[in-house]
Chains A and B, each alone.
Chain A
Amino acid sequence: MPKNSTPTAPSAFSRKGFSFDRIFKYFFASNAGLTIVILLLIIGFLLKEGLGFFPGYQRELQIYRITGMEYIDISRKNLTSHEQLTSVMNRAYFAEINGLADRELQRSTESSALISHIDDFTASARDQYFETIEDANPAPALIESAKQKYAALLPLAMKDLPLTPHLSAGERQQIIDAMLARPIDNEDTPELVNQLATEYATVRAKFATPLEPMRAAIDEFEALGADLSTSVSDMSSSVQVIKEELNTADIIERDRKTLIAAAESAKTPEERARLMAEAQTAISTVPDTATPLKELLSGREDGQEMHRSMHEKITDWSGKASIALTQPEAQRLYQVVEKTLPVYLNELAATPKALAAWDAEKPVKLGTAISSFLTGKNWITGGEWQDFYGILPLFVGSLMIAIVALILAVPAGIGAAIYTNQFASEREQKIIKPVIEFIQAIPSVVLGFIGIFVLGNALRELSTSPSLSWFPGFPMDERLNIFTAGCLLALMSIPTIFSLAEDAINNVPGAYSEASEALGASKLQTTFRVVVPAAFSGILAAVLLGFGRVIGETMVVLLVAGNRIKIPDFSAGIGAFFQPAHTMTGIIAQELGEVPLGSVHYRALFVVGILLFTIVLGINALAHRFTRNMKH
């Protein structure tokens, strides 16, 4: 073979081309690497903003302790329980009276409902009239037009009048006639309505007489808390001043550190000297917390004594306070009192010990800050007393909404997937799939809008219907609550669950069902005993991804969940699902725009973000593990 037939070295051009190619390759590779960079940036910046939270919160808790606020809150907790118990007893009392006077109450409310319906209907004309005559020189034409409008609206208002089952036809007519005859400038309620109200008041007074011992008992109980109330408010006012001083000192100290840092990096010696001098003068006087604390703790003995005597008196009181109630609602409320009273008494008994054991010197560790974030039951911000950042109410809110959503969406989504894939004709599939896919395209803010303006009202109205009153939690107190938000999120997660579950079922090899049918199984048997079990881990992954989507959703819960930061009251049973709540996503969206940059509150929101990020990624990772198992 001739030697010169070996391939020649690449020409200059092709070498250039080769290196060009390399450049392109690296360019594309760097773009692929961008995804890693973004993920790292997300994690890095969440941590950067978030991790500062714990030391900041630790300092806040430290101030909370050394000022003695924590000490006061031991007593305050009892005061709150006392007030709550009083309020429940009062509710029971009024429930009893109103239950006994039910007929009169109904008659009175129905007659008021009747006139307020008519009033609402004619409100625009009346408002116009009254606003016009208030003017210095009222326009006669405007008054005339208001009168005409009123005359026109009045007969229209008679349509769709509310039902009045407790009023006789004659009484109803009497009220309607009185309203029809009423001129625009007369705002008096008809005679009969007033009469019914008086009747109700009389009956109430009548039933209140045998209940007087109960009234007296409640008042006595309330009075037992008076000492505690004064003592707590006395202690609080002195402490708040010190807290302010401490906070100001902290701010001055931080400014001083910034000045020193600026001085170190200053360009010219003069500037450095100037900044240093400024920093020197800014040294704050550390406020004296020891003396006021000593003063506060000098009342420790008295406080213990007060709690002991309170415990004694209330134990006495509870011996006397057995009250026979007849109305179911009143009985239920009084049962709550009977259940919580021993708990309260135990707390009272334990308080003197807690007061004695409280120690201002005990250091607040970083772990305390972390655990009080993760297990704290209060998320209180922007208050005058003390800010608490406890994730529990938000977490419970998110979780309960997700549970409602999944209970509705899982059967619906999987059922629809099984039907569409296994039973539906091709023509049906062509309708079902695009419609469900299109639900996915609805922006979440639109769903939230629907929740506020349509679904919330509709569900609330449904819940007030008497035939459903047996259902726990009905009628709903608020139209925006966990259940309403859960319904909308169910609608939102159905497409995710549907399409992933459908994919999973579709991926089951045809041989499985063919074999099953060859063995004589019916279509139904094949579907539920062969296909669905084979697709099980894929379906599970679909459910998990739906769950991840629901937990991470923001706009719907922000608009519809009711935004009340409180752990729902589980004593209501299933009714807890009809209470408003706040969520982890919602709190970030609501508060991030309002907090000062770099504050503890601002950082707390980032920690919520970190938690959310971890939860959702954990769920997704689990889901992908299941999908990997799916490979047939």
Chain B
Amino acid sequence: MISEETLIRKSGKEGKRGKVFDRLVRSAFAGITYAIVLVALLLFGKIVKDGAPTLFTSEAPFINVSFLLDKNETLHVFDDAQGVRHKLPASKYAEFIKQNGEDSIYNHHSFSYSGGGIVGPIVGTLLLTVGSILLALFFGVSAAIYLSEYAKESPFIHAVRLAILNLAGVPSIVFGLFGFSVFVLAVPVITADPSSRSLLTIPLFFGDYVMSFQGWNSSLMAGCATLACMILPVIITASEESLKAVPQGFRDASLALGATRWQTIRRCVLPYSMPGILTSSLLAITRVAGETAPIMFTAAVAAKDDLPWEGADGPLDVLSSQVQALPYHIYTLAARIPNSEYTQQAQYGSVFVFLLLVAILSISSMVLRAKMRAKLKW
């Protein structure tokens, strides 16, 4: 028989050993967690360290405006007759040659995509993002309204939910294939002379115009449409959540006062859920701005001299032109040109600007979401 005393002592001993073990396990898990945090911080640190010098300068206005606002060009590196090394983008290089003649150049090297600034990619990314978000918000919020306000259990709703679930999991490169085969090659356009690869032409009975299923080619619209399809499930899920967060009482009160369902939605549900919808869609913007695979074949182009609206007649022309995009630009800089001391500035600078853009978007969405949760409590 074990006396009470031994039992207590035993548990004490075990307890001590248990405590050490306990602490060991805890610190092991803490180690894993902080290792992840550390790796993430190191990563940001590296990009900030190498990229910040491109964007920020030590003199007023402290920001390298020309990097943000100049067009992307080839970089020319050469020595002049005095042995001074020059690094000039293509346009200034041509000027230099004009002034000093061909013979004044020694040790000439050129680096593609590394000179000038990145205004083209920035503008392209902004256009793609805004276009696709507008499309996705319009269709996504409408779908969410149906799911949250009208829908009852039915096979149709079941199918819609299944589709949303599956769409959310489709890999981005498959969206690229989809966008390429649908928006670039197959969607209908109204034109007077259909292309030979058109899948189907329907005469429209005015003039020579036909509706030809020949696609929009690689263009801003095709890219926006592909990206919109990709984030549609995100927007629908987020919007439905925000709509459902509006208390049922609001709807009941409105309906009891004789308002129709649509009036109720417009006046009593949407205004209260709009902030939530917009905040969640900021997160979708982060994703859209960062995706490369879906736009590789549908919209993006590595080098382009003009901004989308330059030399375009009308908005349709802008929409059907190819654009540069920051993620694709970074892909080009990483994959197609070697790393050297002259290209590094453009490489790390572009990555830094891109990451800054994404960070601003995602931090503001996090902050807004936190604020919203605190504020909107019914």
Q: A residues touching B (Cβ–Cβ < 8 Å)?
A: 17-18, 20-21, 24-25, 27-29, 31-36, 38-39, 41-42, 45-46, 48-49, 127-128, 131-132, 135, 139, 141-142, 144-146, 149, 411-412, 415-416, 418-420, 423-424, 431-432, 434-439, 441-446, 448-450, 452-454, 491, 494, 498, 522-524, 545, 548, 551-555, 558-559, 585, 588-589, 592-593, 597, 605-606, 609, 612-613, 616-617, 619-620, 624
Contact = CB atoms under 8 A, between A and B. Distances in A.
A435 B139 contact: no
Contact of B39 (A20, A420, A491, A606): A491
Contacts of B176: 554, 588-589, 592
B260 A450 contact: no
B334 A449 contact: yes
Contacts of B172: 552-554
Nearest to B25: A524
Given A35-B143, A620-B165, A446 B330 contact: yes
Given A142-B81, A445-B290, A592-B176, 13 more contacts: A21-B262, A29-B150, A32-B143, A35-B164, A39-B167, A411-B32, A416-B36, A436-B37, A438-B362, A449-B330, A449-B347, A491-B40, A592-B297
A456 B157 CA distance: 48
B331 interface: yes
Contacts of B236: 35
Contact of B29 (A28, A46, A135, A418): A418
A66 B355 CA distance: 56
A606 B178 CA distance: 9
B169 A616 contact: yes
The list of the 5 closest CB pairs from A to B, nearest first, reads A145-B83, A552-B171, A443-B290, A28-B146, A31-B142
Nearest to A583: B173
A452 B333 CA distance: 11
A332 to B, nearest CB: 35
B171 A613 contact: yes
Nearest to B352: A446
B220 interface: no
Interface residues of B, number: 94
B139 to A, nearest CB: 5
Which among B160, B286, B334 has the greatest number of chain A C-beta atoms within 10 A? Answer: B334
A174 to B, nearest CB: 32
Contacts of B139: 31, 34
Contacts of B355: 442-443, 446
B206 to A, nearest CB: 18
Nearest to A592: B297
A555 B293 contact: yes
A448 B331 contact: yes
A41 B167 CA distance: 11
A38 B82 contact: no
B177 A20 contact: no
Contacts of B43: 442, 450, 491
Contacts of A498: 36
Contacts of B330: 445-446, 449
6 contacts: A20-B260, A42-B175, A145-B84, A554-B172, A609-B177, A620-B165
Contact of B81 (A21, A139, A552, A559): A139
A616 B171 contact: yes
A25 B152 CA distance: 12
B296 A593 contact: yes
Contacts of B289: 443
B46 interface: yes
Contacts of B174: 42, 46, 552, 609, 612-613, 616
A435 B160 contact: no
B83 to A, nearest CB: 3
Given A444-B290, A494-B36, A617-B170, A35 B331 contact: no
Interface in B321-343: 327-328, 330-331, 333-335, 339
Interface string B34-57: 111101110100110000000000
A420 B33 contact: yes
A293 to B, nearest CB: 37
Contact of A448 (B159, B166, B334): B334
Interface string B355-377: 10011011100100000000000
B292 A27 contact: no
Contacts of B18: 522
Contacts, number: 277
Contact of B296 (A434, A439, A545, A589): A589
Nearest to B42: A454
Interface stretch (B66-74, B181-189, B306-314): B181-189
Nearest to A487: B39
B42 to A, nearest CB: 10
A435 B41 contact: yes
Contact of A431 (B37, B83, B159, B260): B37
B30 interface: yes
Given A29-B146, A46-B178, A445-B290, A432 B37 contact: yes
Given A416-B33, A441-B286, A593-B297, A31 B143 contact: yes
Nearest to A623: B169
Which among A27, A434, A589 has the greatest number of chain B C-beta atoms within 10 A? Answer: A589
B16 to A, nearest CB: 13
A416 B81 CA distance: 61
Contacts of A448: 331, 334
A418 B260 CA distance: 49
B163 interface: yes
Nearest to A419: B29
Interface string B75-94: 00001011110000000000
A128 B171 contact: no
Interface in B183-217: 185-186, 197
Contacts of A606: 177, 181
A445 B33 contact: no
A35 B163 contact: yes
B83 A445 contact: no
A145 B150 contact: no
A415 B33 contact: yes
A38 B366 contact: no
Interface string B133-154: 0000001001101110111000
A489 B157 CA distance: 35
Nearest to B145: A28
A350 B153 CA distance: 65
B113 interface: no
Contacts of B175: 42
A422 to B, nearest CB: 8
Given A450-B46, A597-B197, A443 B177 contact: no
A144 B106 CA distance: 14
B33 A41 contact: no
Interface in B240-290: 260-262, 286, 289-290
B350 to A, nearest CB: 9
Which among A128, A418, A449 has the greatest number of chain B C-beta atoms within 10 A? Answer: A449
B229 interface: yes
Contact of B171 (A20, A438, A551): A551
A21 B83 contact: no
Given A46-B177, A435-B40, A443 B291 contact: yes
B217 to A, nearest CB: 12
B156 A445 contact: no
A559 B334 contact: yes
A38 B160 CA distance: 11
Contact of B146 (A25, A128, A434, A436): A25
A57 to B, nearest CB: 18
Which among B83, B145, B182, B347 has the greatest number of chain A C-beta atoms within 10 A? Answer: B83
Contacts of B127: none
Contact of B260 (A17, A145, A434): A17
B151 to A, nearest CB: 7
B3 interface: no
A39 B143 CA distance: 15
B51 to A, nearest CB: 11
A47 B99 CA distance: 60
